[in-house]
Chains A and B, each alone.
Chain A
């Protein structure tokens, strides 16, 4: 339930999304805005030198860290515990939740504040804590809005409430939180600020995710804009940080590179307003710091990617740059993916974490234009991994016969590396008969639903050429 959004089948969700004109327009606006800002702060910012060098630096750090993950996790946990923190390694969401429930019960905790965290969404922590009588208050503005709506879920990794307009937000806060103002964002935000101030101060537990753990010191680094991560880590007596097991860097020097890649790729900022780094306190305690600090490190299916062609998907730093350039996300929005992880990275990660039965169709939510791969700040070959997922989906018999034929023709059903190459090379050729003025108008098989969208872009020739060059490089590395 936690990672999953909604109960409808994938293509029904897509249909729903296509009917939602406000949502589609706001996705388009947000993509254009975020993409423009990102370009200005990356390729467009001469002061930082060649952005490609930064991407290569990021890839290098992430690859080395993942290849030596056991070593760096040991170092992180050792240093965290050496300073008095408690580390719990959880193979599953259930184990993570059970541990956190136990902490909450021991503290007799009734209220917790939480800074935005995808991994806690993934494990369903709010529900788990509610089960032991501890209410979790979301404090990120977007998550606060979604929580007020009761049952609404994130539609974007970085801006979770993207699918809601200001009037809807006003109505929700009126109905659920006693708000009586206008739909001006300033007024709505001021309301959230005033509502949450005391909540921050009175919480028994502060919960955060972890953008990056720093192995050499056992630190948790949080990258935010609103100041809520500082509030959540300052006033409750107990802090619990939940971390996907791959989210760490060896040293502070590496943290510098990753924070730069994340801030610029996610929101086009040179640095976010807050980069908050918390390490268990040694010596006499601060009055505005946790007395008890827990770090919960979650596998949750991530280890299934280790040692496979999907290992580099774990390099992801959750910037959503791939989401912001994806033509399919633009049209169907976040909820259609049925996972809290949307867009190209969601379509790669969700089947790994949640299995092909539940998420095997998501890799079809792509035109294979490779814009995602080009946008990724740590150079994850996302579209290659999408193709590989499709291949496995067909090979392992999840697709029915007619789908298999269409998917094979779509360039995804090949079963050997050489056929795979030909198939991917053929994608634009295959789509050609359906292309009119650069858009696919009446595609076959799985494309039929997508091509209801009039602007659905054809796999770009230029992008494809670039991609193919990269792809060949990738092959020579592997051979």
Chain B
């Protein structure tokens, strides 16, 4: 990214301050909001209950949910490969695949691992792919949503271009709702860290109800979605 620029700001902001009948403000504290209903949602739920909710809400959106365990994960992934068309396939460049013992099954099935150094060729691979494999960084029980902190290695294209996305969801990533993710990002900012350039919340396959309000699944993003939930991770 080139060096940033800002045009016409002072005049524009001074006009706003004028309209608001005061001088420009240079320091504002965000108040402690009187209403904060978001924190109470699903606070009383156990980890088991949150997991059940995540699964239920994923299925409601047409996503296939497969529960598995660490020792059966490779087998589950292989089942997904067979069921959703097999090669060509892609996966994000994510160390967790090795940690979770998926290196062999990826190698054996010729899964293309995103390689930032290969540039545009990765996009071509993702476009052709039947399945894209990725990890969910945080998973939302309320809506069956996966959240990804994407970058040049954990590439967005893997969840977007293949016909099916298959997300690996360690149970420990499941939280009540978006509130817990945005709080984490807000804390990161307060601690002076740079946030991920692409933060994506994805809830099942792409869809539209633009034609006579009929729900159609599979518009520009994936047509199918699979959530592989690892119960003991």
Residues on the A chain within 8 Å of B25, using CB? 68, 70-71
Residues on the A chain within 8 Å of B132, using CB? none
Verify B16–A252 contact, CB threshold 8 A. no
Of all chain B residues, the one with the shortest Cβ separation from A257 is: B38
Residues on the A chain within 8 Å of B120, using CB? 287
Given A70-B17, A196-B220, also A250-B30 (CB < 8 A):
yes
Residues on the A chain within 8 Å of B4, using CB? 80-87, 280
Which candidate, B66-74, B76-84, B99-107, B206-214, is the interface stretch facing chain A? B206-214
Residues on the B chain within 8 Å of A293, using CB? 1
Residues on the A chain within 8 Å of B6, using CB? 77-78, 81, 86-87, 89
Cβ of B47 to closest chain A Cβ, rounded Å: 17
Verify B20–A307 contact, CB threshold 8 A. yes
A-B pairs with beta carbons under 8 Å apart, 24 shown: A68-B25, A70-B13, A70-B14, A80-B4, A82-B4, A84-B1, A85-B4, A91-B12, A185-B214, A189-B208, A189-B216, A219-B199, A225-B209, A230-B200, A233-B198, A252-B189, A256-B182, A271-B145, A277-B198, A286-B150, A288-B157, A291-B1, A304-B19, A306-B16
Given A50-B37, A89-B8, A307-B20, also A273-B202 (CB < 8 A):
yes
Q: How far is the CA of A250 from the CA of B189 in the complex (A)?
A: 12
Given A216-B189, A307-B21, also A47-B155 (CB < 8 A):
no
Residues on the B chain within 8 Å of A475, using CB? none
Of all chain A residues, the one with the shortest Cβ separation from B152 is: A286
**In this assembly, does A408 line the interface, its C-beta being within 8 Å of a C-beta of chain B?**
no
> Quick one: which of A99, A145, A252, A278 has the most chain B CB within 10 A?
A252
**In this assembly, does A127 line the interface, its C-beta being within 8 Å of a C-beta of chain B?**
no
Residues on the A chain within 8 Å of B194, using CB? 83, 282
Scan B175-218; emit 1 where CB is below 8 A from any A CB, else 0.
Answer: 00111011101100100001111111111111111111110101
> Quick one: which of A29, A160, A189, A282 has the most chain B CB within 10 A?
A189
Given A89-B8, A279-B195, also A256-B210 (CB < 8 A):
no
If over half of B's interface residues share one DSSP class (helix, strand or loop), that class is named, otherwise mixed; here it is loop
Verify A303–B16 contact, CB threshold 8 A. yes
Q: How far is the CA of A467 from the CA of B140 in the complex (A)?
A: 37
Q: How far is the CA of A274 from the CA of B37 in the complex (A)?
A: 23
Smallest CB-CB A-B distances: 3 pairs: A227-B221, A84-B1, A81-B4
Scan A249-261; emit 1 where CB is below 8 A from any B CB, else 0.
Answer: 0111111110110
Given A57-B33, A226-B206, A251-B30, also A188-B186 (CB < 8 A):
no
Verify A255–B219 contact, CB threshold 8 A. no
**In this assembly, does A174 line the interface, its C-beta being within 8 Å of a C-beta of chain B?**
no
Verify A219–B206 contact, CB threshold 8 A. no
Additional pairs, 17, CB under 8 Å, beyond known A282-B197, A288-B157? A47-B142, A57-B38, A64-B31, A84-B3, A86-B5, A87-B6, A161-B210, A189-B208, A219-B195, A231-B160, A252-B183, A256-B38, A259-B178, A273-B207, A281-B152, A287-B123, A306-B20
Q: Residues of B at under 8 Å CB distance from A?
A: 1-9, 11-17, 19-21, 24-28, 30-31, 33-38, 40-42, 57, 61, 116, 119-120, 122-123, 127, 140, 142-143, 145, 150-152, 155-157, 160, 177-179, 181-183, 185-186, 189, 194-214, 216, 218-222
State how many residues of chain A have any CB contact under 8 Å with chain B.
Answer: 116
> Quick one: which of B157, B186, B197, B213 has the most chain A CB within 10 A?
B197
**In this assembly, does A141 line the interface, its C-beta being within 8 Å of a C-beta of chain B?**
yes
Q: How far is the CA of A303 from the CA of B213 in the complex (A)?
A: 35
**In this assembly, does A60 line the interface, its C-beta being within 8 Å of a C-beta of chain B?**
yes
**Per a CB cutoff under 8 Å, which of B1, B12, B185, B186 touches A89?**
B12
Q: How far is the CA of A303 from the CA of B189 in the complex (A)?
A: 30
Cβ of B35 to closest chain A Cβ, rounded Å: 4
Q: How far is the CA of A416 from the CA of B207 in the complex (A)?
A: 51
Given A256-B38, A288-B155, A306-B19, also A230-B5 (CB < 8 A):
no
**In this assembly, does A192 line the interface, its C-beta being within 8 Å of a C-beta of chain B?**
yes
Verify B220–A193 contact, CB threshold 8 A. yes
